[in-house]
């Protein structure tokens, strides 16, 4: 009987420790998933003026206004685009609305550029 009690106690201890470990791991992976989600899903919108289109490097240089959701002030910078097709009808001097996705630290890509009147 003593042995049985001991085994039950040991069993309970082992399972609760294991449960805690699983809990912790689930918590960790959920936290990681949330961080990844934020990077993949977040689209930011900005307004700017096209300065230069570089079809060889898939970049467009724009002077853009502040993008609050990214915490960016207005500035002139090169943006990478995922699909060079969105650059082909653009012209320097055009005012545009654009969407930029953040896929991780320093990984920003313009996904849409819409000329404005
Ligand atoms: Cu910028």
For residue 104, what is the domain's CATH number?
Answer: 2.40.50.320
pLDDT at 38 over 50: no
Question: Are 54 and 95 within one domain?
Answer: yes
Cα(33) to ligand 1 centroid in Å equals 27
Going along the chain, which residue ranges are E strands?
Answer: 43-54, 59-64, 75-81, 95-102, 108-115
Residue range 80-97: mean pLDDT, rounded: 96
Claim to verify: residue 7 and residue 53 sit in the same structural domain: no
Half-sphere exposure of 56 (CA within 13 A, CB side): 0
Whether 71 and 92 map to the same domain: the answer is: yes
Contact between residue 99 and residue 44 where contact means Cβ atoms under 8 Å apart: yes
Ligand 1 midpoint to CA 48 (Å): 10
Across the range 99-103, mean pLDDT stands at: 93
Instruction: For residue 44, report the distance from its CA to the centre of ligand 1, in Å.
Output: 12
CA 20 / ligand 1 centre spacing (Å): 45
Do 25 and 57 reside in the same domain of the chain?
no
Q: Compute the distance from residue 108 Cα to the ligand 1 centre, in Å.
A: 10
pLDDT in tens, 4-21: 666 666 666 665 555 555
- 57 and 12 fall within a common domain: no
State the total domains in the chain: 2
Residues of the domain holding 34 = 1-41
Most trustworthy range by pLDDT among 21-30, 41-50, 84-93:
84-93
Q: Are residues 58 and 36 in the same domain?
A: no
Claim to verify: residue 59 and residue 111 sit in the same structural domain: yes
Residues 98 and 49 reside in one and the same domain? yes
Tell me, yes or no, whether 48 and 90 share the same domain.
Answer: yes
Q: Counting Cβ atoms within 10 Å, is residue 100 exposed (0-12), middle (13-18) or buried (19+)? A: buried
| Cα 94 to middle of ligand 1, angstroms | 17
What's the CA gap between 32 and 77, in Å, rounded?
Answer: 30
């Amino acid at each position: 009987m003593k042995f049985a009690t001991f085994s039950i106690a040991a069993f309970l201890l082992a399972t609760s420790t294991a449960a805690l470990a699983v809990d912790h791991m689930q918590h960790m992976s959920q936290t990681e998933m949330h961080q990844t989600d934020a990077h993949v899903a977040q689209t930011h919108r900005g307004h700017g003026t096209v300065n230069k289109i570089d079809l060889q490097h898939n970049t467009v240089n724009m002077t853009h206004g502040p993008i609050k959701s990214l915490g960016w002030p207005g500035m002139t910078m090169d943006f990478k685009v995922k699909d060079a097709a969105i650059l082909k009808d653009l012209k320097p001097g055009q005012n545009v609305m654009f969407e930029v996705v953040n896929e991780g630290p320093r990984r920003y890509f313009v996904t849409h550029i819409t000329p404005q009147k």
